[in-house]
Structure 1
Amino acid sequence: MSSTKPEHIIIVGAGIFGLSTAIHLARRGYTNITVFDKQPYEKTLYSYLDGCDAASADINKIIRSAYGSQTIYQELTSDALRSWHEWNQEIARGADLPPGFSPSDRVFFNCGNLSCGDYSSLPTFERATVECMEAAGFKRTQLITNEPADLNAAEEKGFFPAMNPFSKKTLGVLDTTGGIAVADKACLYALHKAKSLGVRFILDPFNGAFASFIYDLNSQVIGIRTADNKKHLAGMTIMACGGWTPSLLPELDDLCEATAGSVVLLKIPQSSQLRQRFSPSRFPSYTFKVRDGAEGGLYGFPVDERGLLKIGYRGTKYTNPKVQKDGKERSVPITRWTTGNEGTLTQIPQQAHRVIRKFMDEYLPELGQEGINIWKSRVCWYTDSFDNHFVIDRVPGQKGLMCATGGSGHAFKFLPNIGKWVVDVMENIGMDSPCIQAWRWRKPASGEEPTNTLMEGSNGARSLGKTCLVTAEAARSKI
């Protein structure tokens, strides 16, 4: 550990960016770190079903090394995977476990991640993934599903069922380094690690809820005020608030926006043979036509220990534009647990339901044959940047304020290591590295076509106010 650094650091947000940053600050020698969040995670255990509405509060997330030609994320994943395996080993040893954990728990399942579709030839992204992973020395980790040699390699590695896990053939690449993170348990384990390192957490709807910044006479941020009207001064404040970050930091306009994916959960009875069919030992995490627009953008998981089978859709990323104090519209998350909406059935866009239902009927028909249907549905809010790169930087003009956001739906896998980079930026270390340069405050280059179109407002086609929604009950029947 580095020499002691007593400067007070505040982190707003106890999701993956906030947790990881807290751990790496403490490892770097900072002894005065406080994490604030409105969610009482130590009580709710990061469970969406028990009231948590952040993207990090989930049952599972995809882990993959497959990033096409974007080797900065490939390398970042390789580093993260070492920690995921180490965390599993630590838990298995049974020492210093969080309350409720046992040595049989795991936070990572190496069940593989299949990127596939109803393709006649392998898409450019998947082929680039194979080439880049091979060039980096990870030979025979990316297996093409119709290549005889790769099918043999899958058999040898124990991944053969994951190469073609659906009732219809698909073409794609199985990333044998990947799989799933058990999201809620992983966050709890990271929280426990941070507390063990001396990090303080204030997790409460009032005491922990961000209300406003505190400024000095030069209009520089010197801390925050929480909803209980208490002042908390700090040398650095780091905003890591997930989908809420863009509405709390107007400086992110045109760089980041809160967008919603659509998620359904199916509940498979303990007695059903489908528990084994969709077990992580036989079934991978997957993406299906994930870059193919509104009729694609699907992803899914093996069944979890409670029998929950999750399927998600981000072919269309929905928004919830609301007029803010400055008169400008910004997308703000709204969930099952939003104040004034508590306990109501979550609705999902009809388009999302239609695409998910079509996929289930064609590729997972055994679910319908056993009468297993949608149990719950939700929207899940991420922060999309216009180019899918993260934003880890000082807020322009504010030496005492940083943000760590822009996960764009692919950040969870970096829970063990993304905080290292946040601290590097704070300490001005390695600022010329490709990662940090990609994550700097930025605008689209002249003539650049953004990956994500942001801030279309309430008149945009993706606004939930203009979108036909269906309830969880309606989602149980076919459209």
Structure 2
Amino acid sequence: MGGRQLKHSDAIVIVGAGAFGLSTALHLALRGYRNVTVLDKHEYDNSGYDYRSGADSASSDMNKIIRSAYGSQVEYQDLSKEAIEWWTAWNREIKAGKDLAPGLSTNDRVYINNGTLCFTDQLELAPFEVETIRNMKAAGLGETQLVTMNPEDNASAQRRGLGYAMDPFRRRARNKPNVGVLDTTGGVVVADKACRFALHKARRLGVKFIFHPQAGAFESYWHDEQGNVVGVKTQSGEKHPAKKVVMACGGWTPTLVPELDGLCETTAGSVIMLQIPPNSHLRERFAPDKFPSWMWKLWDGAEGGLYGFPVDDRGMMKIGYRGTKYTNPQLQQDGKLRSVPITRYTPGDKVTQLPRKSMQIFKHFLNEYLPELAENGIDIELTRLCWYTDSFDNHYVVDDLPGQNTVMVATGGCGHAFKYLPILGKWVVDIMEGVEMDRTLVKKWAWRSLPEGEKPFNVLMQGNDSPNAFKNVSWTKDSDLKLGSQPKL
């Protein structure tokens, strides 16, 4: 690793101020690096990382799920335990009211430990949940996983004030199966507030942030006469020298770092948001202390992959779907097709609707599991495409760019990285410094290619041949936002 020779006075430039970029900046500062600059084209000081205020990165969101349940992947289970300790400490800092970030009060929490229910429409637990229970027991954490069909676990949930989370969809009352596992370590991370908190902490430690559509937007690397990267150029024409450049650009990374071809691709998940009126009894019904975060048929392909949350402090309920992930292949300057994020805020062409397939899945679920929404006249308020970067094996990519040890990539969140915001950067900086490189996750996050004959977890780079490429997809209309309607394919 070229980064082992870094001095604390060396210039480090991070491109991207989402979860990877913020956390890396924070941990560089905590470790004594004094010349760290973060560039981002999003004007986060104005938007506050709020999607509804124009911020369209994946990290700019209402909320994210936190969980320790990871099936057979015990390395992420262990990482979750460490992250939750940090989230809990951040809550304590906010409650103490010392040097609060803009827009936060002592009543705010960035982590709400209200449980995460992983459930199915089948009559027995899925293999993922079975593996989770086995591995959590092996780690001495078996009491954190409560099976909904187990009377003893239901009694335990009641004693611990989590009874609401064992059957939040009121399946038993309707004589419907209720099969799942409650991860009591899990819950909700309030994403926009967490980003503002991390940003504030990093700034107080001396990190410089440049948020601007041109001055903060990456244009190209800056090379010396030997072809070595010695910094970056922005779209405003400015040059920023750097001994290390960290490309942490979320869904925009695969376009800016074409070397990721075959390893990573940006894909869009679908999200709906429903506004619960202040005077509705559903505000209390779906409040965070009465309704958990949840994941439905997590690994069941196109007919599953839904996840959701309680209402936020503005009465908005978010539900997401990644059982089908979409791509936007666009011809690049080198003649190759790469998926490029496009949102309702993209300059020029925009996307303000969802694929009809996604809306069908949402409405099928809501009709079966939350019929009270339509019964009370609640419709979909807003939709979004949320762009993540997927790797072929669902592991992150944190490593130097091959052939350029002054450039590092921190990406490939695959929709499950934000929960680690407080500690992602600790690992990134460890890898930058060459610390304990034999750890399992460090090896899994290294630059890699798909072994010959091995089936990928995520199928990437299908271009316009993919049935989920935008040109092959039909889209919803505004009328489809009413829960009583059903889009036709």
* TM-score range normalised by the length of the shorter chain: over 0.9
Query: SS at 2:354's partner residue?
Result: strand
The residue correspondences of 1:9-158 to structure 2 (distance < 5 A) are 9-158=12-161
1:297 lines up with 2:300 in the alignment: no
Match of 1:269 among 258, 266, 277: 277
Return the alpha-carbon distance in structure 2 between the equivalents of residues 21 and 404 of structure 1: 9
Q: CA deviation at 1:120?
A: 1.2
C-alpha separation in 2, matches of 1:471 and 1:290: 27
- Counterpart of 2:215 (choices 204, 207, 211) is 207
Structure 1 residues 472 and 413: CA distance shift in structure 2, 3 A? farther
* Maintained 8 Å contact 1:375/1:472: no
Measure how far apart 1:4 and its partner are: 7.1
Q: Offset at 1:133?
A: 1.0
The aligned counterpart of 1:379 is 385
Residue number in structure 2 paired with 1:340: 348
Deviation at 1:156, TM superposition (A): 1.1
Do the aligned partners of 2:120 and 2:126 also contact (CA within 8 Å) in 1? no
Partner of 2:418: 412
Paired with 1:275 and 1:31, the residues of 2 have a C-alpha distance of 46
TM-score norm. by structure 1 comes to 0.98
Secondary structure at 1:469's aligned position in 2? Answer: coil
Cα-Cα RMSD = 1.1
Identity %: 54
State the alpha-carbon separation in 1 of the partners of residues 93 and 26 from structure 2: 16
Partner of 2:457: 451
Shift of 1:131: 1.1
Corresponding residue SS for 1:69:
coil
Write the distance in 1 (CA, Å) between the matches of 2:329 and 2:23: 29
CA distance in 2 between counterparts of 1:194 and 1:458 reads: 41
1:162-241 matched pairs, under 5 angstroms: 162-168=165-171, 169-241=177-249
Residue 142 of structure 1 aligns with an amino acid whose one-letter code is Q
> Structure 1 CA distance, aligned partners of 2:283 and 2:143?
29
**Amino acid of the structure 1 residue aligned with 2:468:** R
Following superposition, the deviation at residue 102 of structure 1 comes to 0.9
Distance in 2, Cα, partners of 1:309 & 1:108: 17
The residue type paired with residue 150 of structure 1 is D
Q: Secondary structure at the match of 2:313?
A: coil
Residue identity in the other structure for 2:124: S
Aligned mate of 1:470, from 447, 454, 476:
476
Residue 402 of structure 1, aligned match among 375, 400, 408: 408
What SS is found at the alignment partner of 2:441?
helix
CA distance in 1, matches of 2:130, 2:153: 14
Partner in structure 1 of residue 174 of structure 2? none
**For residues 39-64 of structure 1, what are the alpha-carbon distances to aligned partners after superposition, in whole Å with 9 as ceiling and x for unaligned?**
11011100110111100000000000
Count residues in correspondence: 475
Amino acid at match of 2:125: L
> For residue 457 of structure 1, what is the amino acid of its counterpart?
G
- Where do 5+ consecutive residues of structure 2 fail to align? 1-5, 172-176
Amino acid at match of 2:392: F
- Cα drift, residue 367 of structure 1: 0.2
Q: Choose 333-342 or 42-51, whichever is displaced more.
A: 333-342
State the 1:16 CA deviation: 0.4
In 2: Cα distance, 1:465 partner to 1:218 partner: 42
SS in 2 for 1:400: strand
Letter aligned with residue 423 of structure 1: V
CA contact (8 A) 1:26 1:194 kept: yes
Task: Identify which of 451, 461, 466 aligns with 2:467.
Answer: 461
Residue of structure 2 aligned with 1:318, choices 326, 343, 346: 326
Cα contact 1:346–1:472 (8 A) shared by 2: no
Equivalents in 2 of 1:346, 1:64: separation in Å?
30
Runs of 4+ in structure 1 off by over 6 angstroms are none
- Aligned position for 2:3: none
CA contact (8 A) 2:102 2:196 kept: no
Query: How far is 1:139 from its partner?
Result: 2.8
**Shift in Å, 1:473:** 3.6
Shift in Å, 1:308: 0.3
Deviation, structure 1 residue 459: 2.1
Matched AA of 1:109: I
User: Which amino acid in 2 is paired with 1:462?
Assistant: N
